[in-house]
Chains A and B, each alone.
Chain A
Amino acid sequence: MTLTKAQIVDSIQDKFGFPRKKCVELIEIMLEEIKKPLQKGEDVMISGFGKFCVNNKKERKGRNPATGDDLTLPARKVVTFKCSQGLREKINK
C-alpha cells in the first residue's frame, strides 16, 4: 500500500473535525512551507524524522547512453534526505 496525501487529510479531519476542504488547504500550505526554504537553498530539519538537504552538484562530463556522444552535465542543485536515527530504528524494528 502507498501512503498519499489523501490518507493524511483523513487523519487531520478525524483529529480536528474541520471541513475536508480546509484540511486539504492546511496540508497544501504545510507542504509549501517545506518547499519554500528548500527553494532558497535552506535545509529543513525535522527531529525524529530526518533532514532534507540541498546539495550543490558540480558540473561533470557524461555520455549520452543511446548515442555514446560526450556531453557536459551542468552544475545543479538537488535535494537529498538524511534519515534520523529514530526513524532508522523504527524501520529496522
Chain B
Amino acid sequence: MNKLQFIDALKKETGITKPEAAQIISIFFDEMSEALAKGDRVEIRGLCSFFVKEYKSYTGRNPKTGEKVTIAPKKLPFFKCGKELKERVDKK
C-alpha cells in the first residue's frame, strides 16, 4: 500500500474528504519526522515506537571491491514494533 491508497482508504472509512484525509496523514508523519529530527522519541501505542540511535564513525569495507572506507557518524531511527501490531501480524 502506498500513500495514495492510504489516503483513499482513510477517506472511505471516515467519510471525510480526500484533501482532509491527505492532511491528517501528512500531519501524522510530519510530526513523527520532526520529533525524530529533534532527537525525541516517538511512541504510538499499538503501532510502534521510534528512537534515534547514534552511530559512531567506523571503518567499513566495500563488500564488492574489498576496499576500506570510512563511514561517517550517523543517526538512524530505530523502529520497535508495538505489541498489538506484532501479535496481529504473526497471528497463526
Spell out A's residues near B (CB within 8 Å).
1-5, 7-8, 11-12, 15-16, 25-27, 29-39, 41-50, 54, 76-81, 83, 87-88, 90-93
Contact residues in B for A90 (Cβ distance below 8 Å): 33, 36-37
Asked if A43 and B84 make an inter-chain contact with CB atoms under 8 angstroms apart, the answer reads: no
Residues 1 to 47 of chain B near chain A (Cβ within 8 Å)? 1-3, 6, 9-10, 13-14, 16, 20, 23-25, 27-29, 31-33, 35-37, 40-47
B88 proximal to A (CB < 8 A) = yes
Asked if B44 and A31 make an inter-chain contact with CB atoms under 8 angstroms apart, the answer reads: yes
Asked if A30 and B90 make an inter-chain contact with CB atoms under 8 angstroms apart, the answer reads: no
Q: Give the CA-CA distance A44 to B33 in the complex, in Å.
A: 17
On chain B, the number of residues with a Cβ less than 8 Å from chain A's Cβ atoms is 46
Counting chain A CB atoms within 10 Å of each CB, the highest count among B35, B43, B48, B90 belongs to B90
Contact residues in B for A26 (Cβ distance below 8 Å): 14, 16, 24
Contact residues in A for B35 (Cβ distance below 8 Å): 1, 3
Q: Give the CA-CA distance A55 to B51 in the complex, in Å.
A: 21
